[in-house]
Amino acid sequence: MPWTYLVALTDVKKREQPRHSNQYGLCPVTNEPLNNVVLVVAPRSYPRLAEGLEIGAVYEHEGEKELACCVEGRYEDFYFFEWCRVLTIIITRSGKFIKNGTLDEWVDQVAGALEDEQKYPETGGRGPFWELVRYGLRGVTFGPVVCAKLVRDFDEWEHVAKAHGDERFYALYCRLRECFAYPNGSGLVYYPEPQYFRQSKSDDRPLLGIDLA
C-alpha cells in the first residue's frame, strides 16, 4: 500500500452549516458521517499558508476531484525529508546547515536555509519551496494562493531539478508539481494525518482552526 504524502482537491465549497461541536466530519444535526470534507487548519507561525480559504471552516469536494501524491513502499515517508534536503542543497548550493537533531530542529534548519530577506523581499524573505519544506507533512492546509506560488517555484527550478540527474528525485519533483497545480485556484492541498507534528514542541501547536471559535 503506498503512503499518501499530500492530497490535492479542486472546486471545493465551504459548508455553510455550523460545525459539529465534537467532530468536524459529522453532521451537527444527524451525527452521521459527512463524505468528502476537509477542515482548514494553519500553523500559528504562518496563517497565510491557508490564504484564500477560511481557517477553521469545513470544505466539501467531489470524491472524483481528488489527486493523491503517493510514493510506493512501506517506509517511503522518510524519503520526503531526504527529498527536501536535496532540494534545499540544490537551491542554496550548500549542505552545511544540515545537522542532527529533533524533527523540529531539522525543519527549522532546512527551511531556514531558504530564507533571505534581501534576496526574496517580495515574499518577506521566504525563498523557493519554503512553504512545502517547512509544512509539507505537518497536517496543515495549503490554500490556493500558496499552491499557485509553489507551482511557479516548480516551473522556475524544473531545469535545475532535472539536471541534478537523480531519477527518483525528479519523479517526486514532477509529481509534487502536479499535486500543487491541481487546485487551479479553486482548491487546496492538505496532509490527512499530521503524524510528524504529534510529538512536536513547535509554537505552531495547536494548529489554528482545530478548535471551534
* Residues 137-153: tens digit of each pLDDT: 788 999 999 999 999 99
Report how far residue 66's alpha carbon sits from residue 208's, in angstroms, rounded to the nearest whole number: 24
pLDDT mean over 41-55 = 95
- Give the closest residue to 35 by CA, choosing from 25, 45, 43, 44: 25
Q: Give 96's contacts (C-beta < 8 A, 6+ positions apart).
A: none
Contact 38, 61 (CB under 8 A): yes
- Give the torsion through C-alpha atoms of 149, 124, 205, 212, to 10 deg: -70
Q: Is 99 helix (H, G, I), strand (E, B) or coil?
A: coil
Q: Is the dihedral of CA 61, 66, 71, 74 positive or negative?
A: positive
Strand 37-39 relative to strand 3-9: parallel, antiparallel, unpaired?
unpaired
Residue-level pLDDT at 94: 75
Residue-level pLDDT at 28: 86
Report how far residue 24's alpha carbon sits from residue 201's, in angstroms, rounded to the nearest whole number: 25
Contact 52, 14 (CB under 8 A): no
pLDDT higher at 64 or 74: 64
Q: At what angle do helices 144-163 and 77-92 cross, to 10 degrees?
A: 70
- Give the closest residue to 35 by CA, choosing from 56, 6, 64: 64
Residue-level pLDDT at 193: 67
Q: Has residue 103 got a pLDDT over 70?
A: yes
- Give the closest residue to 17 by CA, choosing from 26, 8, 9: 26
pLDDT mean over 124-128 = 93
CA distances, 60 to each of 3, 14, 41, 127, 188 (Å) = 23, 6, 15, 32, 11
Which residue do the cell numbers 481557517 mark?
Answer: 55
pTM above 0.75, yes or no: yes
Report how far residue 143's alpha carbon sits from residue 190's, in angstroms, rounded to the nearest whole number: 9
Contact 61, 9 (CB under 8 A): yes
